[in-house]
Chains A and B, each alone.
Chain A
Amino acid sequence: MKKLMFLSISILFLFAFTACNDDDTEVIVDSSLPQGTFTSAKSGTFAAQNDTPTAGMAQLGTDSEGVNFLRFTPTFTTALATGTVTVYFSKSATLMFNPGNGNPNIRIVGTVTQNGERFFKLNTAVPADFTHVILWCASAGIPFGNAPLN
């Protein structure tokens, strides 16, 4: 009986101290977000199109590990009550689709569904001739805004 009590108390102590041990706290690393400091290399302010409330800035840069990211600043807004907006890099302020030749003038980035700050992790650096970020309502086929990357 004494052995059983001793064992039970030992287990309770073990749990109690383990739970308070800071060394075991898990750190979740979100690889889709910049590690360390994000440094902007190019940026531009969004110009609204087609009566949308588009505003804020787009920034192209790298994090402390040299990974490329596109960032929308916390002031970013656009018309999202209607649904999803698709983000493109473009070689001009106007999105020029050319599917027959592999769409050489645009590069799709992703979609945005919420206003506010947003990071898009990029697998490769963006060539310098992609000069604009375009917000595109794909369902209606109209732009909601664009930002030059200067």
Chain B
Amino acid sequence: MKKASFLILLFLVVFFLEGIFNNAQAQSGWVRDKKSAYLQLSYSYFASDNFYNLSGNKLTTNTFSQHSIHFYGEYGLLDRLTIIASVPLFRANQFKNTDSAIGVGDLMLQLKYALLKGKFPLAIIIAPEFPTAKADNFATNKESIFVDRINLPTGDGEFNLWTMLAVSHSFGDVPLYISAHAGYNFRTKYQEEEFNDQVRYGLELGYNIAQKLTLNTHLNGFATVGNQPLTGDFIRSNGTSYNSYSIGAFYKLTEKLRLTGQVQGYFDGLNERKNLYSAPVFTLGLAWEKK
């Protein structure tokens, strides 16, 4: 039965939220119990012709789309230490008039350590991201009479390091939880292009609406540190900023299997949308948990 569950998890095409520029999953202050595990496979789809350039101006372009199958896994290595791996196993980027640039994405490892446990668990996360994707991956224009290619890599081509703090609280009698996080991304460079560092922060609210069903919502901010770069392609997200929201649900299929679904959108406000294709990201997923 365990093997069957695992195989189902691996082979089902499932959907789970994974914004194309948002490599870090939602963060909480809880760490896993020692030797417990959580695995998730997800599929997300995104298509947009609304591009916000580095100045924040909205352009209408040919439609850009992305398909992604993403693996996410947590394991309780120690009582206070959880290791996490997150990687797009498959990603396909294309414009409507090009073929697809296909490949794996960048692997992110996370070490999550519980600074505080109890009513207000607080965790620190150190998360290096490795450029496991091809730094350059060209799609060919199918309509051009010349050889016309565009670089749509499935990763950003650089090593970077996220550090994050996350705190959570469960309201006990009321089946409600809240989490908040803030993080800083130390970025390096790709070839001659130096990347600006980035910050992100967010809130998550979850409510166990029925015995098997939990609803949650996120509100996140994402911003570039320092002077706004004047040039840079969207796929490497240098100079990218946005606010995002999401609405999602978790449904317990069995004691160990959960079906998840979520939709994420972007909006202006504190962080104006810049260097970003903006449209809803639709995701469904299947998760397996061993306590």
Contacts and interface: CB of A to CB of B under 8 A. Distances in A.
Given A53-B230, A53-B231, A79-B233, A139 B150 contact: yes
Contacts of A51: 53-55, 230-231
B148 interface: yes
Given A81-B193, A84-B148, A84-B149, A140 B62 contact: yes
Contact of A83 (B51, B138, B143): B138
Contacts of B231: 51-53, 79
A50 B53 contact: yes
B98 interface: yes
B216 interface: no
Interface in B55-88: 55, 59, 61-62, 64
Interface string A118-150: 000000000000000000011111100000000
B98 to A, nearest CB: 5
Given A51-B53, A53-B230, A82 B151 contact: yes
Contacts of B98: 139
A86 interface: yes
A96 interface: no
Contact of B141 (A50, A53, A79, A138): A138
Contacts of B7: none
Contacts of B148: 83-84, 86, 111, 138-139
B174 interface: no
Contact of B144 (A50, A79, A138): A138
A6 to B, nearest CB: 57
A52 B150 CA distance: 15
Bin chain A's interface residue count: 10 to 19
A83 B230 CA distance: 18
Interface in B145-180: 145-151
Contacts of A139: 62, 95, 97-98, 139, 141, 148-150
Interface in B113-150: 138-139, 141, 143-150
A86 B144 contact: yes
Interface in A45-91: 50-53, 79, 81-84, 86
B53 A86 contact: no
A137 B150 contact: yes
Interface residues of B, number: 28
Contacts of B143: 138
A138 B145 contact: no
Q: Which of B54, B55, B144 has the most CB of A within 10 A?
A: B144
A84 B95 contact: no
Given A81-B193, A83-B138, A111 B147 contact: yes
A100 interface: no
Nearest to A83: B150
B54 A84 contact: no
A140 B61 contact: yes
A141 B147 CA distance: 16
A110 interface: yes
Contacts of A53: 230-231
A53 B231 CA distance: 6
Interface in B213-253: 230-231, 233, 235
17 contacts: A79-B231, A83-B148, A84-B147, A108-B145, A110-B146, A138-B97, A138-B141, A138-B143, A139-B62, A139-B98, A139-B139, A139-B141, A139-B148, A140-B64, A140-B150, A141-B95, A142-B61
